[in-house]
Structure 1
């Protein structure tokens, strides 16, 4: 759940509930963005077992989080044992949409944003092409396991490069809208929201870590945009 973007309070609550089902007295959880430390207390809290596990970065996927929650609910309701949990965990797989469908829908969403902000038809089409190309680039880099910061920077460069054609060749009367709309797919909304929720609920280390991750991704996006403007000798939006 930590790897796939779950909120810290939810991770701790599920761990404690599963521990209760398995018969331990209590479960203590400590979270940082890159690892989880879990301690179980049993036999009237006279015995303890502590383990630390590294959390590797994965794309945000709420289907994984929901599947773990469903396992927790079922284990509580039917009082199931550890064998059921291990079997269920091994069977949980991310539910991925078709990559071309994602490219198309991202293009449509960014083009819709351009439309809502008053772009002309050519600007909408250019936004669709630019954001679709950017999403395809992001998928390719993700499959090749590039660092996320590099992925965001390169994707922002591609989106800006394609969208800038509307201004360079005077294809649209609203090039600024096309330029700004084409990079919306890189807005790190989920990390920002989770960082605030974690901080408000007392998970300051997680909140700070996720906030810094979101800031770094935003900075990488800005670098990609500026690099494209510099290469094309443009002043900006």
Structure 2
């Protein structure tokens, strides 16, 4: 393997951390981020890659020339919606670099072309509403409750998309959307639209369950990334608390007793 100059190693280091930040921002677990960074570094000619992760940043060091030359850099990671297509694209790129012995310029070019694979927003609204409505039906809701749950969940998803588009803080987004979902679902109880209003109320806010952060927090903690696990767990708890506040506020406003 050719000896890397300091400038070449710096370029490689900056490229690797961009890939790692991309995976962190879009929801990859910590072990996967570290593994891809190390594999990408080895494929691009460095001896080893050391990664330190926290929920909002990555510190990455590369060692080369028999570990006598090191480069360290830090990048901040900004929160973005979970998107596994981005994570998969970075993994595919890493695999191709390993198999075809491609250089750092190919990695830079490929990362510029990686874009989020978004579904049609109206398809998401309909499918989220339908999934929550199906859950309510499976739990014993009647057809009127099914329709009310669909309406409440679909409108809530639309509101969530609009708040995200306007770049509201995620905690505020969850609180507001929980309030909207409960407000609409409560109509079933106020106007006696269904015999199962409690199921409608509980099913309409299912789209706000922060399952992915909770799962990643457990995976990170089990695999030894305690700082990442704690950070992601706290994020999930805060989102759950914001959702609860939105629900309670709607109940208070409508003077309802709860589920």
Normalised TM-score (structure 1): 1.00
Deviation digits for residues 47-85 of structure 1, max 9, x if unmatched?
A: 110000000000000000000000000000001000100
Residue in 1 that maps onto 2:196: 174
Alignment partner of 1:188 out of 190, 207, 210:
210
Distance in 2, Cα, partners of 1:2 & 1:103: 26
Q: Does 1:228 align with 2:250?
A: yes
Q: Give the 3-state SS of the residue equivalent to 1:2 in structure 2.
A: helix
Residue in 1 that maps onto 2:232: 210
Residue in 2 that maps onto 1:49: 71
Alignment partner of 1:159 out of 181, 188, 191:
181
Give matches, 1:9-48, under 5 Å: 9-48=31-70
Q: CA deviation at 1:178?
A: 0.2
Q: Give the 3-state SS of the residue equivalent to 2:124 in structure 1.
A: helix
Distance in 1, Cα, partners of 2:181 & 2:153: 6
Distance in 2, Cα, partners of 1:52 & 1:190: 26
Deviation digits for residues 73-107 of structure 1, max 9, x if unmatched?
A: 00000010001000000000000000010000000
Residue in 1 that maps onto 2:167: 145
Distance in 2, Cα, partners of 1:159 & 1:16: 44
Q: CA deviation at 1:191?
A: 0.3
Deviation digits for residues 19-40 of structure 1, max 9, x if unmatched?
A: 0011111000000000000000
Q: Does 1:99 align with 2:121?
A: yes
Deviation digits for residues 181-217 of structure 1, max 9, x if unmatched?
A: 0000000000000000000000000000000000000
Q: Structure 1 segments of 4 or more deviating over 6 A?
A: none
Alignment partner of 1:58 out of 80, 87, 98:
80
- Number of aligned pairs? 237
Normalised TM-score (structure 2): 0.91
Distance in 2, Cα, partners of 1:223 & 1:126: 22
